[in-house]
Amino acid sequence: EPNKLPKEKKWSGEEVAKHNNDKDCWVIIHGRAYDVTEFKEEHPGGKSIILKWAGKDATETYEPIHPPDTLDKFLDKSKHMGEVNMDSVEQEKEFDPDEEERQERIKRMPILEQCYNLMDFEAVARRVMKKTAWAYYSSGADDEITMRENHSAYHKIWFRPRILHDVEKIDFSTTMLGTKVDIPFYVTATALGKLGNPEGEVILTRGARKHNVIQMIPTLASCSFDEIVDAAEDGQVQWLQLYVNKDRAITERIIKHAEKRGCKGLFITVDAPQLGRREKDMRSKFSDVGSNVQETGGENTDRSQGAARAISSFIDPSLNWNDIPWFLSVTKMPIILKGVQRVEDVIRAIEVGVQGVVLSNHGGRQLDFARSGIEVLAEVMPVLRERNWQDRIEIYVDGGVRRATDMIKALCLGAKGVGIGRPFLFAMSAYGLPGVDRAMQLLKDEMEMNMRLIGCSRIDQLNPTMVDTRGLSMHTTAVPSDTLGMSVYDPLVNPQEKAK
Ligand SMILES: Cc1cc2c(cc1C)[n+](S(=O)(=O)[O-])c1c(=O)[nH]c(=O)nc-1n2C[C@H](O)[C@H](O)[C@H](O)COP(=O)(O)O
């Protein structure tokens, strides 16, 4: 065929560069050429990003968003054109006006030992991460009120410590879905790990292994699912976070494969029938990566929806309670609904037969003005206790957990454990595995001290009498300062302009 290479030949950069338009479109990924002329029409991230790199090496942009097996899985073999002689390819770096200053900031960043708590990692990550990666990880929906409320809700809960209890030996280990863990937190599912670190989610796997905590593997990981499972040690427990695909055959395949690979929990995300509107993310360079989920949204849909939208057009917005029996029928893994936000749905989850819920608003990235997970927990537990249902399912909370005291408050109120997201992403992005390791160790040190100071030596001694939650439902949210107004009316300097 015209485009077929004799075995030993490699394409030159010049030859690939000829295929640089809508009618004839090749890209180079990891030193190989791919004909994406037809595929670009159905690319979930929209076709503009592909055309932007038509005829060029797209590896750097491609890498953080796509697991390594993406092209083998989704691009017909006949479109895999073969090897490219990369010496002949003109490397085109995506111009980033901030890159020079960022490299300077990296040289001046604090050493790891100067990070004393999880918020320190956020402060460092903000300075040293690429803007697009920082935007994706740090963004919340709309005015980010819920994202801030998630953390400040813990500041409305005060302790009622007890005294004169023997707290010489502290044991804060517990079990989660039957797995023994060192400390009651798990690494929650957060997409696109390679935006923050070239190795991606496997860094979190190694940190989780070292501290004997569970990692929840995201559907939208940068690493492939099998890479993440292979990075785990024998006996290391992982869970799967599932975005349900409109095509249930794909979903069934994913579930069965996860079970076969040893996952010990299926966390179905139920708070994201469509990914939230995260404006920091939308402003970053992904703004040219509109996705076909907007196409279905009709002409006037805003296409600059950032990375989130670019990778989530497959999610099924029709998912509903009637689907749950099917999930219970296709797997033996315990099923947990992630993103439950009111007691009525916890009752329904128990009645429909799932094994747990995560009280969560997706880190404030979905519905703004959703209540914090911890506030919902305070609503849920008294109702379950009234029915003597408190042991019918395991209840987790995530969102805004930054201190061991946050964890202790959640456990006092009846949570089995908490999920932690951004802190480990920021620790990984700033310092790699040593950062994640230190972040987890800091939480263990804080846990030991605070359990001692609250007067408990074991997790099962934590109970509602040890906290005062009277202030919890007071949403004395200061009127949000108009950050959008301050920035959005500035003449948006086009980075390309700045470079001239
Ligand atoms: C920070 C972050 C969170 C994401 C996340 C990506 C990032 C960068 N992504 S998202 O791209 O779709 O929004 C996921 C995801 O893949 N699936 C999911 O169930 N939750 C996702 N979450 C939510 C996460 O599982 C927790 O609910 C949330 O992070 C907890 O809040 P903290 O970050 O404050 O700990």
Tokens of 114: 């100067």
Tokens of 471: 């202030």
Predicted local distance difference test score (pLDDT) of residue 486 = 57
User: How many C-beta atoms surround the C-beta of residue 226 within 10 A?
Assistant: 13
How many H-runs (helices) and E-runs (strands) does the chain carry? 21, 15
> Is residue 271 annotated as part of the catalytic site, yes or no?
yes
Query: Which of the listed residues 138, 190, 244, 337 should we mutate to test ligand 1's pocket, taking the one with most ligand atoms within 8 A of CB?
Result: 190
> Is residue 171 annotated as part of the catalytic site, yes or no?
no
User: How many C-beta atoms surround the C-beta of residue 238 within 10 A?
Assistant: 25
Instruction: Enumerate residue ranges in the chain where pLDDT < 50.
Output: 286-304, 489-490
Please tell me the residue having the least CA distance from ligand 1 atom 19. Answer: 269
Count of residues in the chain? 500
Query: What residues are paired with 419 via a beta bridge?
Result: 186, 398
Query: What is the spatial order of strands in the sheet that 80-83 belongs to?
Result: 26-29, 32-35, 80-83
Please tell me the residue having the least CA distance from ligand 1 atom 16. Answer: 191
Residues 273, 254: Cα–Cα separation, whole Å: 19
User: Locate tokens 């109702």: which residue?
Assistant: 383
Residues 1, 5: Cα–Cα separation, whole Å: 9
Please give the model's pTM, rounded to 2 decimal places.
Answer: 0.88
Give, rounded to a whole angstrom, the gap between the first and last alpha carbons of the chain. 44
Query: Which of the listed residues 188, 420, 443 should we mutate to test ligand 1's pocket, taking the one with most ligand atoms within 8 A of CB?
Result: 188
Half-sphere exposure of 136 (CA within 13 A, CB side): 25
- DSSP category for residue 490: S
d(CA 285, ligand 1 centre) in Å: 20
Give just the sign of the alpha carbon dihedral 317, 323, 328, 334. positive
Tokens of 67: 């697991």
Q: What are the Cα distances from residue 151, in Å, to 144, 147, 363, 372, 375?
A: 12, 7, 10, 8, 11
Q: pLDDT tens across 122-149, in order?
A: 999 999 999 889 999 999 999 999 999 9
Give just the sign of the alpha carbon dihedral 336, 458, 205, 310. positive
Q: Cβ distance 7 to 38 under 8 Å?
A: no
Q: Which residues line ligand 1 (CB under 6 A)?
A: 136-137, 150, 188-191, 218, 220, 241, 269, 275, 308, 338, 360, 362-363, 365, 398-401, 419-422
Please tell me the residue having the least CA distance from ligand 1 atom 18. Answer: 189
One of 34, 62, 243, 396 is an active-site residue; which one? 243
User: Locate tokens 């749950």: which residue?
Assistant: 324
Q: What are the Cα distances from residue 358, in Å, to 148, 165, 400, 441, 459?
A: 19, 32, 14, 24, 19
The CA radius of gyration of the chain, in Å to the nearest whole number, is 24
Q: Cβ distance 170 to 461 under 8 Å?
A: no
d(CA 361, ligand 1 centre) in Å: 9
Backbone region of residue 213 per phi and psi (left: phi > 0; alpha: psi in -120 to 50; beta: other values): beta
Alpha-helical segments (H) within 129-201: 131-138, 145-152
Predicted local distance difference test score (pLDDT) of residue 474 = 86
One of 143, 151, 362, 431 is an active-site residue; which one? 362
Predicted local distance difference test score (pLDDT) of residue 304 = 43
Q: What are the Cα distances from residue 155, in Å, to 298, 342, 375?
A: 43, 21, 11
Helix 131-138 and helix 422-454, axial crossing angle in degrees, nearest 10: 50
Q: Cβ distance 361 to 371 under 8 Å?
A: yes
Q: Cβ distance 311 to 44 under 8 Å?
A: yes
The interface predicted TM-score of the complex, written ipTM, equals 0.99
Strands (E), 36-145: 80-83
Tokens of 86: 């990369």
Residues 267, 239: Cα–Cα separation, whole Å: 7
Q: Which atom of ligand 1 is nearest to the CA of 422?
A: 33
Predicted local distance difference test score (pLDDT) of residue 60 = 87
